[in-house]
Structures are given as structure tokens and as C-alpha cells.
Chain A
Amino acid sequence: MNLVWKLLKQNISKGQFAGFFIANLIGLTIVLLGLQFYLDINPLFSEKDTIMKRDFLVLTKQVGIYNTLNPQASGFSAEEIKNIENTSFATQVGAFTASRYKVFGGISTNQGGFNTEMFFESVPDDFIDVKTDRWKFSPDDEFVPIILPKNYLDLYNFGFAEARSMPKLSQSVIGMVNFNITISGKWQHKEFKGQIAGFSNRINTILVPESFMKWANENYGEQAVSNPSRLMVEVNNPADPNIASFLKKNNYEVEGENSAVSKMSYFLKIMVGIVIAIGIIICALAFFVLTLSIYLLLEKNMEKLRNLRLIGYAKSVVVRPYELMAIGMNLAILTLAIASVLVIRIKYSDIVRNVWSEFEGSDIMITLIAGICIFLLLSSLNIVIIRRKVK
């Protein structure tokens, strides 16, 4: 056995190091688990919707007798839009444009088909994050991309298909189905194929690209231009209390559960933040324990270290056993923490799948890199402390 190590391992307190080891293992596991859980769960609140990760509110005016009798009043005037833009919480405001022409949509299958009168709306493309390059239109195109509310699919799958014993359709299957769309107005009509580009939980309307809407309104639009009845507002913080008071003051309503989803996402962030902070505190305390243990150990063995230096051993040689010991422990902790995260992740994946069947989980890479960074940070701090202590 290496004689230097035989000397320097004297006075190592197994209890102290075991304490550090366990505490740091728990801390690091919590940090990495919190991070991984956040990365895994976050898409539930953001990427799943075709409307993107940013936080949006869809604003409408409250429907009352006044609006019913006076349709113009239910829209947002230019001045009102300006007011919303000027608030502290809104970063971007986009208006819904309604179709001013007639739309018929339908599906024809071997078993027959159905046709219905419908409508389109559009929002500025900037508010849409569809992960296909299909979200565009030019007048020569035969196809029009469409985003439907997720409710429509649910309505079909759990209502219509159930009652009529028809097959249920998944989002990807629906994406392959073409609808027949006819738009008409100004004594002319044109036929298109509609293609579902995605489903949205947030926007309760049938969306088409703004370029299509503009072109169609120009060429087929019959009704007069009216103020937009719905606005999309991008907010920097959906939990901002100013929003609620502003809405109340102006009698605006937030449509659907949008704000609930945003709030949940916000709370998720807060919760994960708290969990990670607790993990970091535990890590920091564990690191403190290790630092104290190393100090104590060095202090107890200072005479030996000094004598080794005096018989000609270089500083780098006498501190190496302690450095290797610290790095070894940190490495073991990192490995165990990552292993624990992987095991716990398998467990919680099953639970998450019960409520969210499309759960795939994100890459473990970011967590791995974070773990390695913490390992490098702790180890280099240990090395600095040891080298400073030994003269």
C-alpha cells in the first residue's frame, strides 16, 4: 500500500464522511430530480398546444344586453386595443380576424358524408407556433391548413363516434384527412382541401393562416368590416394581479381555461424552483459538512503533512490523496444521484401516463450535464480548499 496514503488516511472520520455522503446524495438527487421532472412535465403546459409556449390570454367582452342589442359594441375598438397594449403586463396584442364570407366544410367518405356551414378566424402568424411548414397559404394553393380546438376532436371521439359506433381518431390520423372547403361570396365561390395542421387547447375557434384570411376577405368578403371581438394578449407573467384588476375594470373576460393553464404552468415553475432550491440548500449544507471535515482532517494531520513536506515531498503529492478522496466521493455521489433520478423517473412516468397518455419525457442530457457541472464545481472547490489549507 502507498505509504503516503497509509499515513494520511489516519484520523479520517468515517462517520463525518458518511454524513456528508448521504446528505449530499439526497441534495443532489433532489436538485437533479426537480430539474428532470420540470423538463419532463413542462411540455404538458406549453409544447403540447399548437399555440406556443409563451403565455397568452384570449380576451372577450362580457356579453350583456347592451352587446346583444348593439353588435358593434361587443368588438374592441382601436382605442381599447391601444389601452391594452399600453398596460404593463401585455407584451403583444393580436386581434382575431373573422371571415366575412360564407364557408361550407364537409367530409365525404365511402359511407357517406356530411356538410356544414362554418366560419374561420385568424390571428397574426406570430401568435402561432405550429411545428410544420404547412402554416402558410398562397392563392394558387389547393390546400388550406387549419387549426381546430381540441374540444372538437374530443366531441367527435367521445360523443359522436361513441354513439354511432364509429372509429375513434387520433390527432395524427386526423392530420391525414382532407376536408372539402367551399368559400363563397360576391357571386362567386372556390373549393379547397382543408388539412388539419394541429389542435389547440387554448384557442376556441377554427383558425386559418392570416394570409388566407386576408386574401379571402378581399375577394369574397361581403359583410362590413367590424371590430375584432376577441384579442390575443401575450403577457409576461400570467399571475400578475394587475391583469385581474384591469379585466374587471373594463368588463373584459378571459376565454376558456387559458389563464388556468398559464397559472398552473407558473405554479409548476414556482414549485420546481422551491424544490430545486431546497436541494441546493441541502447540497450546500452537505458541502459545508465536507469542508469542515476536510479542515478537521487536515488540522489533525497537519504535523504529518508538514513532516512529509520537510522530507522532500512536493505539495501536489501530499494533497493528492485528499483531492482524490474528495473527487472520488463526489463522483460516487453523482453516479448514485443520477441512478436514483433514473429509477424515480420510471416510477413517476407511469403515474404521469395515467393522466397524460402522450407523455414521452424529455432528454436526460440536460440533467446529466447539470449533474456534471455541480460535480465539477464541488470538486474544484474542494481542491481549492485543500490546497489553501496545506502550505
Chain B
Amino acid sequence: MNTIQLKNALPDVFSEVRDIKSDIWRKDVTFEKGKTYLIKAESGLGKSSLCSYIYGYRADFSGNIFFDEAEVKNIKRKKWDKIRSKHSSLLFQELRLFPELTALENIRLKNNLTHHKTESEIDSMFDRLGISDKKDQPIGKMSWGQQQRVAIIRSLCQPFDFLILDEPISHLDDNNAKIITELIHEEVRAQHAGLIVTSIGKDLPMDYSQILSL
């Protein structure tokens, strides 16, 4: 997968709104592999909707979204399974971790599927993000900031052409944001992937190829 292309796309909820000032909705936008994008928006402008369209779990939009040549609305369920484990990775704004499992089990659940990282690589990511002492703690007992870091590790445990981060550092301090930026930058560069980050104010500090406002 080399490009994600939006052609005149608009969430159905905005179909009544006449004058939309957006760099994305009702425009032709192309996200390319190897480049980095920041999408800035106030809340309520369809940030998470955009992520869900690109990740194939909602389709309540008009217009078209293409992965290379393929229309996302035509992609079959099995193909999505493959996309979600090999071609694109999403950090959900609501994280979608499993509170019954420990932090490490949450990571393994993903890595058992992709076999992308070794145990020691996972350990070192926990170390770098400063939560190695929380590895065996159930997710339900961790703070949101800690959960966010676990979810970031999980999103890196797979090969991807595009990494999509929906408000990755909303509950993290600047120091942690810096460490996460480094980690993500390394991974994206190593996989020569595209990066799409959304933000409602607190940006992941990085030099972006393009900044769009929603």
C-alpha cells in the first residue's frame, strides 16, 4: 500500500453543513508512504471518524477513499484482517485495550498475531516509555497516560505502510512525548512508512511533511 487517497470525502453527519472550511473534507488529499502528516482539529470535526474510515470499521461517509487503486468500501472483510495486521496500524483515541489482561498480555495478543517484535524488543520499549514496572499489572488498574503508552507499544508491534495515531499524547507530559516521538520516528523510518498524527492542541513534536487542518 503506497497511498491513501481521499476524493471529495465527507462524513454523513456533515452532509447538511454548507460552508465547510477544511483541508480534507470535500477535497482531494493524498497521503503518501514515507511522509509524515499532522492533522489539527478542534474536537467534533470528524478526526476519529477519519481514522475509522481509513481503518475500515465505519463507512458512514460520502465520496471516495482509495488505498492505491482500491475503494475502501469495496474491500472484503478478510482483506481488512490482512490490512490491519500487515499494512496499516492505528492507535485508537479510545485505546481499545483489554482491561482484563495485563499490559504485557495486551501487547502479546497483538504480537502473537504478527510475530513482529521479539520479547526483548518489547521489553526495551516498555523500558524506554518508563512503564516496565507495570508490565504485569492489569490494564484496568493503570492510569490513562500509562494505558496510552501501552497502546502505542501495541500499535508498533506489526509491520505497516501507514501508522495512524489518533491523539497519541493527549494525557502525557512533554518528556514522555519526546521519548514517544523518538520511538515512533525510528519505527516509521525503519519501515519506510507513512505517518498520520491527529491532534487537538498537543502535537507530537516532529518535523511534518504536511500539516492539515480539518
Contact = CB atoms under 8 A, between A and B. Distances in A.
Interface of A: 3-4, 6-7, 10, 304, 307-315
A311 B92 CA distance: 10
A308 B96 CA distance: 9
Nearest to B110: A311
A310 B80 CA distance: 9
B109 A4 contact: yes
Given A6-B105, A310-B90, A314-B78, 17 more contacts: A3-B105, A4-B109, A6-B100, A6-B101, A7-B98, A7-B100, A10-B100, A304-B98, A308-B109, A309-B81, A310-B92, A311-B96, A311-B113, A312-B158, A313-B113, A314-B81, A315-B81
A363 to B, nearest CB: 46
Binding site secondary structure of chain B: helix
A313 B57 CA distance: 14
Interface string B26-65: 0000000000000000000000000000010100000000
Contact of B154 (A3, A311, A313): A311
Question: Interface residue tally of chain B, by bracket?
Answer: 20 to 34
A308 B98 CA distance: 9
Given A7-B101, A307-B98, A312 B57 contact: no
Interface in B98-144: 98, 100-101, 105, 108-110, 112-114
A310 B84 contact: yes
A307 B154 CA distance: 13
Contact of B108 (A3, A310, A313): A3
Contacts, number: 45
26 contacts: A3-B105, A3-B108, A6-B101, A6-B105, A7-B100, A7-B101, A7-B109, A304-B98, A307-B96, A307-B98, A310-B57, A310-B84, A310-B90, A310-B96, A311-B84, A311-B96, A311-B109, A311-B113, A312-B84, A312-B85, A312-B113, A313-B81, A314-B78, A314-B81, A315-B77, A315-B81
Nearest to A7: B98
A124 B90 CA distance: 85
User: Ordered nearest first, which 10 A-B pairs have the shortest CB separation?
Assistant: A312-B85, A312-B84, A314-B81, A307-B96, A3-B109, A311-B110, A312-B113, A3-B105, A7-B98, A10-B100
Interface of B: 55, 57, 77-78, 81, 84-85, 90, 92, 96, 98, 100-101, 105, 108-110, 112-114, 154, 158
A6 B99 CA distance: 12
Contacts of B84: 310-312
Contacts of A314: 78, 81
A4 B90 CA distance: 20
Contact of A3 (B55, B85, B101): B101
Contacts of A309: 81
Nearest to A4: B109
A321 to B, nearest CB: 14
Nearest to A304: B98
Contacts of B92: 310
Contacts of B85: 311-312
A3 B96 contact: no
Contacts of B55: 310
A308 B106 CA distance: 11
A307 B95 CA distance: 10
B110 to A, nearest CB: 5
Contacts of A7: 98, 100-101, 109
Contacts of B114: 312
